[in-house]
Structure 1
């Protein structure tokens, strides 16, 4: 089922506050935070299903380390397909991330490349179209999520829709449906 930006915004409004960031981060718990925490309590009962899902195709990605990188502060189950180190470019690492939203039947796959010059680590995010080296693992993860969870890919144009909500560490006008449905800080990886 394809959902519109308006339908997705109506869903995420239940879980992310539109209040001032100070109130959101303070001692006061918003009703949206309470609903989000309650939803995660229910969703964590399904974590074994997510991990079994990852185990079911781990062998199909022999050149990657496939890990569960779910954090119940984000709005999605997440996995990371970490590329094994390239001896030609040891300072460059990259990972393909698959996200299955707990808020709506949608998913996304994106890439992150890290560059470490010995003094600082920088990153670059990649969305569709992904660089050639990221496409094969991204396609496999996408097909598997669609088949197992009957989720649909969130189109990039919908993902980039600005929303008036606070999704840590994002605040309006820099918050998008992507942040609310998946993760506020997509480059944050273990």
Structure 2
């Protein structure tokens, strides 16, 4: 019985390395790519997982055993599962870089109220959106609010701060920095 169980576990392990999205075990857990994600999202997450995320992506390189299926669903699935298996017992989960920006559908009144609060009692750094500062241009309410919302979010996200601003803001994984205007990201 132990030999059969050992063979079954080896088979499950082998199958999970080849096609993790298709393998399920009663007690096993795998992390796979969400098939609803866009190619850009998958590529960005794959780059992070194989880079600073610490996943072992050596087996999905050319001429390695898990290179095929060479798809933008299978490679991220392998990398995500590698990361998950490596760190799941440490309580470490991926934190993708996120910035907080003004919701493009937010009204000017909502944005202005949130901007006023963030620059006032909210404690955001609003100095860089002033005249002759790197984030003054483009001189629009949405651009200024985006910089200020992100300043607040990065400063307070680990102390309970959020990127909500009464619905006037959203998070993005695309760095909104432009020209000399740098939007901070604090891990």
The structure where strand makes up a greater share of residues is: 1
TM-score, length of structure 2 as denominator length: 0.23
The structure where helix makes up a greater share of residues is: 2
**Structure of larger gyration radius:** 2
